[in-house]
Structures are given as structure tokens and as C-alpha cells.
Amino acid sequence: MKNCREATGVNNYICAKFLQMSVVGYSEEHIKTLEWREHIRLRPGMYIGKLGDGSSQDDGIYVLLKEVMDNAIDEYIMGFGKKIDVSINGKEVRVRDYGRGIPLGKVLDAVSKMNTGAKYDSKAFKKSVGLNGIGVKAVNALSSRFIIRSIRDGQLKVSEFAHGVTVKDHQMKATTEENGVEVIFQPDEGMFGNYFYISEYVDSMLKNYVYLNSGLVINFNGNKFFSRNGLADLLNENMSKEGLYPLVHLKGDDIEVVFTHGLQYGEDYYSFVNGQHTTQGGTHLIAFREAIVRTFRDFYKKEYDPSDIRSSIIAAISIKVEEPIFESQTKTKLGSKDMGPGGSSVRTFITEFIKKQLDDYLHKNPDTAGIILKKIQDSEKERKAISSIQKLARDRAKKVSLHNKKLRDCRMHYNSNDSNKLDSTIFITEGDSASGSITKSRDVETQAVFSLRGKPLNSFGLTKKIVYENEEFNLLQAALNIEDGIENLRYNNVVIATDADVDGMHIRLLLLTFFLQFFPDLVRKGHVYILQTPLFRVRNKKETKYCYTPEEKVKAIKILGPNPEITRFKGLGEISPDEFKHFIGKDMRLEPVRMKKNDTVNGYLEFYMGKNTPERQDFIIENLRIEEDKTEEEVVK
């Protein structure tokens, strides 16, 4: 072990794995050839990222829906079909487009044979998202039930599958249905567990499709999504309040850009390639951020710091690229350098477009140009005001790793380029006993623990200087590595783990206030969660049940019979490490902290964390009465 460590410079864990591999036999029997569906089911992360249960927007069940939708959108882009019907009934999903339909003789092959599809031919599908012919096959392999229906010129072809295996390949028959394709699938509970679709997440996905394809109608469970103004509608939908100036909306061949500045901290971007939401950005977003800085510097004739120019910006950019190259099958990050065969580079294309169109806009709209200049100057003043204390803050931040008192780190950190590292988690807890229980129970590979000392400061209404002046906030910021934005976030899941009592709830609110005030992108991008831990343990000599609500406790008592032992957990520290393993393992209950368009951050923070108004007192009293009025008999009913 020592020789391995000294020779390679890696840690003991990696050396142990290496040594373990070196003693395992390796012969012809170890070489295996898997069928396409077996490989997808064995390595789903290669095709859909993480599995998940539907509680996160990037969970696999939403990727399956997206893969089917991408095919329907490609038909619309090519000029066929103006609407798409989508329905989700429990666990069954239906997507019906009105495009050309899959050629009937190739329906079965198109969804069950790798390297089979029409998108290898750029004449049939130009500037498409799905070019590898894998997406819908992954849906098939990962679904307990999958049906494909293709209608072309009065003929219908249907093929049925289970777990990727053909159940029945129907004969063609006459039909009066409109041309197009209908896909019906039910994700496999054996792969995804007891999953559930959150309509809010599906709404967001489908709205993005219509924003990027003006004129397209998507009907989802009785709701109609339609957009006339493209990306401008997208920003208006996602902004909680108006920007400092009217939206700057620039359009060109194969590119559309919309942006404004707000009062929030950080940068907020929505980027798309060929209608695909590239949540992790890529070449096009890098080029856009650089072009914005260069154009404003040239226009105002001053070398402003990039962070001052982009602070509080909210923007959307969409480009169309022939044969795009994404960095993974889930297509969340663009890797293309060229617009297409013989075309200019992505960076040059975007830079030249922004330079000309934005410069023209600023000259034609001097009022907007003046507001932007003042915003940049205000950001510059604030940055300089805190620069003098940043060095001291950074020195203090080193305590996180040097003394290992606040942070018990994990070995694996979040890497947006590697879907296998999406499960890295940090638990933020309070007190030695609680952090101790989690530390002893956690998976040291993927789970870290940050321990707070008492209640954090109420940061509502304070400036960002507080992040550096307050030791707790400064160390937390350093542990998350978000000083320069969430692009360098060390953990994908930021989990607030506090006691289920009044003090724990207060700490939870104070942390959420801090994140929403200074790092709202953490919440907007779906990184923040609340850990749900049981309130009660109900057991007899044969069985133990953990209950997260009073309702679950009442039901457990009925199941276990008379006189079971009932324990009320008053704090996380009272839960033994052996028990805690059940609550932060594969069955961990995480409640995502989500924001909708109508969620005005300042309004919420003012109400909950501002001055103690009569309205807030009435709200607290009314909600307390609701809980107190519930009897066990009502709970059972």
C-alpha cells in the first residue's frame, strides 16, 4: 500500500482498489458481449444520467420524457405538425406528434436496434437534437411497458415491448388517424423505484419547448402551452419581478438572445441548442458571456471587470447548429466548436452577432444604455467595498479544511462534466451531536457534513459584505466553493438537516434566507433540499416502523397492535448512527426547495424574515390552530 501511494501520489482508497483489481483473475470468460437493452439497463447513467425518483428535475424519468419529446420537436422543426399532445396518468406517459410518422417497415427497428435511425442523414433532419439514434431506445429498455404507434398515409403500425423485449409486433392496418407517432411508456419501477412525476417540472420542460418554437402548441393534461414572443416569454415566465430595463431582444439567423439586469446577486442563464435545454451550458454560453463583456467595454470605453458587467444579469440564448456535439448522451452541455461543415466557429458566430446587434441596440436606446452603465458602476462600487476584507475572509475560510472542525468532507465532489458524480451531497446541520450522528452514518465517498455553531445571522436586507464579515457564512460559502458563483459548486445536493422542532425550523429559514439573498441560483438550479427525518419510532418485539408524520404514527400503531413502544425523536442527535444510516441512504427523503415564477423572493423574505408585522402574527396563529385542531381520529380518517 505504501509503495503504491508513493509511486502514484493517490490516496489509500484508490490504492486499495488498484491492488484489489491486480489480484483478480482475468481471462476469456471475463469478456462479455451484452445486448443493447442489457447494456442500457446495466449502465443507465451513460444514457439518462442518474435514475432518481422524480423529486429532482434532472431525474431519469424526466430524461425519458425529454427523449421522446425531442423526436416530436424535430418533426416540428422540419415543418411537419403544429401540435404535440402529452399526458401523464399516474406512471403512464403518452406523447403524440403529428409529423410524418416513422416509415412503417422500420418502426420496430427504430426503437429496438442500435445505430438505426433517420438522423444520420442530415437531409432528413437538419439542426436536430437527437443524432445518435439512442434516446428512444433507452426509453424502451428502461420501461416496463413501451408501445410505439406510427401512422403514415392511412396506415397504422404498432409494436409493443416490455423492458426492451418485443412483446408483439402488430400487422399494419388501415386507419383514419392523422399522420404522426404516438409513444406510450411506463418507466420501470424495478429501475426507478417508487417514482412520481411532478407536474411543475413537466410544465417547465414543455414551456421551454414552446418558447423555442414559436407557433408550436403543446397540450398537457388539459393545459395548452403556446408562445408568440419566444425567449422573451421564457424570461418573463421565470423572472419574479421586472428587470431594471426593458428586455433586450436580439434575433438573427440561427440565433436568438434576450437579457436584462435585475437586483438579485449572481448570474442567471437559460441556454439552448436546437431546442435542447443545455442546463450545463457549453461553448455557446461561454461565448455569449465573453461577448457581452467585450461589447459593453467597447461601448462604454472602459475596461470594467467582467463580474461587474454580468452581476445580476438574467439572459437566455438559443442557437441552431448542424450536427451538434454534446458532451454526454443527456445533451446538457454543448461541446461543438463549429456551426457546421464549412461554417464559422460557434464562438466567432456568437461574438460577431452580439458585437454588431447589441452595439446597434445601445446606440438606438440611450436610456437603456444609461441604466446598464449605472448598474455596472454600482456593482463595481460594492465589489471594491468588500475587497479589503476578502483576504481576511479567505484566510479564515482555510480553517474549513485545515482544522477539519466545520467540514467533514467526502472523497467525491460534484463535477458537472461527469454524470456519475451528480450524487455528491453536503449536509448542513447544527450542533455536535447531530453532526456527529450524520458523520458516523454517512457514505464517506459521496456525503460531506458541515456543522453550524448555533443559529446563523438573519441576513435579510444586508449587503454581501456580511458573507465575508460573518464567520459562519464565510466558512459555509468556502465549503460550498461558491464565492465566484455556483459554476464551481463542490456538491450537487446541498441538504439542510436540522431538528424537527421550532429551533430547527428557525435555522432552516435563516439558511434559506442566506441562500436566496446572496446565492439564489443554488435554489433556482435545484441544488437545495430539506432532509426529512422521522419524528417517531414505533416498534414491538418483531417489527420497527419509522414515522415522519403524526398520521404515519397512528397508522403504525394500528398495524403493530396494542401497546407498542413509541419514541419521539426530539433532535437529530437522539437518533443513533446505526439508525441514521436508513435515513440518509438509498431511501433518503429529500424535499426539494423550489421556486416558481410568482415566488417573489423579496416579498417572501420581507414577510417571513422582516419586521414582525400583525399580518405575520395572524398567519402564525391561524396555522398553529390548524395543527392543534387535528385529533387522532381525524388523522385516521
E strands within 431-559?
A: 447-452, 493-496, 528-532, 536-539, 544-547
How many domains are there within the chain? 5
Mean pLDDT of 61-78: 89
Residue 203 covered by a domain: yes
Which amino acid, residue 144? S
Asked if residue 419 lies in contact with residue 488, where contact means CB atoms within 8 angstroms, the answer is: no
Query: Coil, strand or helix: which one is 194?
Result: coil
E strands within 106-227?
A: 143-152, 155-162, 165-169, 173-174, 180-187, 217-220, 223-225
Asked if residue 385 lies in contact with residue 275, where contact means CB atoms within 8 angstroms, the answer is: no
Same domain (yes/no): 328, 419: no
Which amino acid, residue 10? V
Neighbouring C-alpha atoms within 13 Å toward the C-beta of 446: 14
Q: Which of 7-11, 125-129, 364-368 shows the highest mean pLDDT?
A: 364-368
Asked if residue 315 lies in contact with residue 249, where contact means CB atoms within 8 angstroms, the answer is: no
Query: Coil, strand or helix: which one is 494?
Result: strand
Neighbouring C-alpha atoms within 13 Å toward the C-beta of 197: 21
Query: Residue 481 sits in which domain range?
Result: 398-533+569-599
More confident of the two residues 350 and 632: 350
User: For 426-501, where are the alpha helices, taking DSSP H only?
Assistant: 432-441, 465-469, 471-480
CATH code, 258: 3.30.230.10
C-alpha cell at 537: 419510532
Same domain (yes/no): 263, 161: no
Our CA dihedral for 24, 27, 33, 39, rounded to 10 degrees, sits at: 10
User: Tell me: the pLDDT tens digits for 467-515?
Assistant: 777 888 888 888 898 877 787 888 989 999 988 778 888 899 899 999 9
Residue 34 covered by a domain: no
Same domain (yes/no): 236, 277: yes
Q: How far, in Å, CA of 117 to CA of 107, rounded?
A: 10
Q: How far, in Å, CA of 296 to CA of 315, rounded?
A: 15
Is the pLDDT reported for residue 115 higher than 80?
no
Query: Coil, strand or helix: which one is 528?
Result: strand
Q: How far, in Å, CA of 307 to CA of 292, rounded?
A: 11
- Residue ending a domain, among 225, 246, 261, is 225
Is the pLDDT reported for residue 261 higher than 80?
yes
Same domain (yes/no): 164, 249: no
Same domain (yes/no): 515, 549: no
Residue 612 covered by a domain: no
More confident of the two residues 568 and 414: 568
Same domain (yes/no): 430, 453: yes
Which residues touch 375 (CB under 8 Å, ≥6 apart)? 244, 261, 311, 312
Nearest CA among 531, 396, 370, 408 for reference residue 471: 396
Q: What is the pLDDT of residue 485?
A: 76
Banded pLDDT at 601 (limits 50, 70, 90): low
Q: What is the pLDDT of residue 22?
A: 53
Same domain (yes/no): 192, 265: no
User: Tell me: the pLDDT tens digits for 239-253?
Assistant: 877 889 999 999 988
Q: What is the pLDDT of residue 635?
A: 41
E strands within 302-443?
A: 313-319, 407-408, 425-430
Nearest CA among 66, 56, 134, 137 for reference residue 422: 56
* Residue 477 C-alpha from the chain's centroid: 20
User: Tell me: the pLDDT tens digits for 493-506?
Assistant: 999 998 877 888 88
More confident of the two residues 348 and 524: 348
Is the pLDDT reported for residue 9 higher than 60?
no
Residue 200 covered by a domain: yes
Q: What is the pLDDT of residue 33?
A: 57
User: Tell me: the pLDDT tens digits for 131-172?
Assistant: 445 778 889 999 999 999 999 999 999 999 999 899 999 999
Which amino acid, residue 43? R
C-alpha cell at 587: 431511501
Q: How far, in Å, CA of 204 to CA of 237, rounded?
A: 10
Same domain (yes/no): 582, 456: yes
C-alpha cell at 328: 454526454
In the chain, what percentage of residues exceed pLDDT 70?
A: 79
Q: How far, in Å, CA of 162 to CA of 177, rounded?
A: 25
Same domain (yes/no): 244, 191: no
Banded pLDDT at 465 (limits 50, 70, 90): confident
Q: Which of 104-118, 199-213, 389-403, 617-631 shows the highest mean pLDDT?
A: 199-213
User: Tell me: the pLDDT tens digits for 310-332?
Assistant: 988 999 999 887 766 655 544 55
The lowest-confidence range among 50-59, 181-190, 302-311, 542-551 is: 50-59
Q: How far, in Å, CA of 58 to CA of 51, rounded?
A: 9
Mean pLDDT of 547-552: 88
Q: What is the pLDDT of residue 275?
A: 75
Mean pLDDT of the chain: 80
Residue 631 covered by a domain: no
Asked if residue 421 lies in contact with residue 443, where contact means CB atoms within 8 angstroms, the answer is: no
CATH code, 578: 3.40.50.670
Q: How far, in Å, CA of 72 to CA of 101, rounded?
A: 10
Residue 168 covered by a domain: yes
CATH code, 105: 3.30.565.10
Same domain (yes/no): 201, 288: no
More confident of the two residues 10 and 187: 187
Is the pLDDT reported for residue 362 higher than 80?
yes
Q: How far, in Å, CA of 521 to CA of 593, rounded?
A: 12
C-alpha cell at 233: 416569454
The CA-atom distances, in angstroms, between 502 and each of 474, 570, 591 are 25, 11, 18
Residue 350 covered by a domain: yes
Q: What is the pLDDT of residue 124?
A: 37
Buried b (16+ CB within 10 A) or exposed e, 307-346: ebbbbbbbbbbbbbbbbbebbbbbbbbbebebbbeeeeeb
Q: What is the pLDDT of residue 526?
A: 82
Same domain (yes/no): 406, 428: yes
Which amino acid, residue 391? K
Residue 391 covered by a domain: no
Same domain (yes/no): 61, 171: yes
